[in-house]
Chain A
Amino acid sequence: MIKSGFEAIVMGASAGGLEALHTILAALPAHFAVPLLIVQHMSPHSDNLLAEVLNRHSRIVVKEAEEKEIPQPGIAYIAPPDYHLMVEADRTLSLSREERVNFSRPAIDVLFETAAEAYGDKLIGVVLTGANADGSLGLQAIKKFGGTCVVQDPLTAVASRMPQAAIASTKVDYVVPLVEIGPLMQGLLEGKRG
């Protein structure tokens, strides 16, 4: 089955995520075909510097997600500290300060579950390094709505628990080493993998 026509990628990372995101985003070309929506677990008091740091080291634009924003191709949107990031049915972004999910705000599951409904089978979900199980339910939802699931090979993860939990709970499509995730995403968008 050839999968093409992807319209967005969601990624979730926890412990060790900065390095992982840096590796993946730095590998992407400036004119990347879809928007990337990203949750990286962080302290509620952190200084929104993540987007700035990643932007400096990537060819694509990396910025903090704003409410009601319409995600654009070639831009990576990072959930702000202490806010959940959600995708509405009309594919605009929403922020929320509801309860923590999996002890986290932002939570990966919240982004993945809402994005799964909004994008259906046009979505790629990527679970990266982390020391908890956030993202597992979200990846299940992405699978349920026909999306494609990618997990970082736990052996290449700073913290292996999160990718392991994701693999255990969902029949994921790809388990690949960190350095291959960027190229895999590219390949999926070009319809070369499927």
Chain B
Amino acid sequence: MEELENQNIEIRLLLEAIFQKYGYDFRNYSMAHLKRRISRRQLLDNFTSISEMTHRLIHDADFFDRLLLDLSINVTEMFRDPSFFKAIRAEVVTFLKTYPFIKVWVAGCSSGEEVYSLAILLREEGLYDRVQIYATDFNQIVLEKAKKGIYAIDRIKVYTENYQKSGGQRSFADYYSARYDSVLMAADLRERVVFADHNLVTDGVFGQMHMIVCRNVIIYFDRQLQKKVVNLFMESLIDGGFLCMGQKENLAFSEYFDQLLLLNEKEKIFQKKYLPGDRSQNE
């Protein structure tokens, strides 16, 4: 159908405009996903065509900020998928305890709910004073929100249930103070966290991590980009480090799959295998 073909051309031109003007590269994202997100914005703002939207985003940076929020999925919860956090407590924490200092990277942290969840978990497991959490996202607006740690109070009921199901040891209310319609997460949960701008598509390795958490982020990428990002994670992990993906994110496609041990199949928790000897000395 010609209409469909034209629309696809318009979307590709829009993505090209975003890349050239703002440096964000969505060209290897899932097309079905992008199309839904772009159509949504088109409908909300009454654009007659996608090309009209392209023109607008080139000339109006504020509009682009809004579109950028549309293009990434920022739907999240504290302790989302409680069974994942339970598995971390049961299967990963023991390993982490053997290190004097631990670096954790939450890649694509969005508005920070998962970061605070991990901070709470690590604190309850007695690891918080030796951890450095790097929480990164490519979107400044959601990063700012993550830094502030202020969330709508009507979400707290769900968060509390999740926390309890995840093996939480205290009362979830210990970790926030409520005021009017909002809750503010306790300041010490941010103490060991660095929030930083990092784009998985265009930026590189910035440290050697003991654990990388990146759940339901690469699910929106095409295979080629997924491979590239998994390579980035492999380069960023120490031997024996942990890679935590979303429940439906299988890594069998990766060229590094044989270097990963599947620690928990349902939760997609992988451990980077220890390589026999030091490769740099053998070469």
Contact = CB atoms under 8 A, between A and B. Distances in A.
Interface in A53-107: 66-68, 80, 83, 86-89, 94-99
B250 interface: yes
B1 A99 contact: no
B223 A98 contact: no
A98 B73 contact: yes
- Size bin of chain B's contact surface: 20 to 34
Nearest to A88: B32
Interface residues of A, number: 22
A95 B219 contact: yes
B31 interface: yes
B31 A96 contact: no
Candidate in B8, B37, B220, B223 with the most chain A CB atoms within 10 angstroms: B220
A143 to B, nearest CB: 13
B228 interface: no
B33 A96 contact: yes
B223 A68 contact: yes
Contact of B75 (A86, A94, A97, A118): A97
Given A68-B223, A117-B4, A120-B1, A94 B248 contact: no
Interface in B179-227: 216, 219-220, 223
A94 B33 contact: yes
Contacts of A86: 30, 32-33, 36
Given A113-B36, A120-B1, 13 more contacts: A67-B249, A83-B248, A86-B36, A88-B30, A89-B32, A94-B30, A94-B219, A95-B219, A95-B248, A98-B33, A99-B75, A110-B36, A145-B4
A23 to B, nearest CB: 28
A114 interface: yes
7 contacts: A67-B249, A68-B223, A86-B36, A89-B31, A89-B32, A98-B33, A98-B75
A87 B219 contact: no
Given A86-B32, A98-B37, A66 B250 contact: yes
B8 A96 contact: no
A96 B219 CA distance: 7
A66 B36 contact: no
B78 to A, nearest CB: 15
Nearest to A100: B75
Interface string B223-258: 100000000000000000000001011100100000
Interface string B26-47: 0000111101110000000000
B158 to A, nearest CB: 11
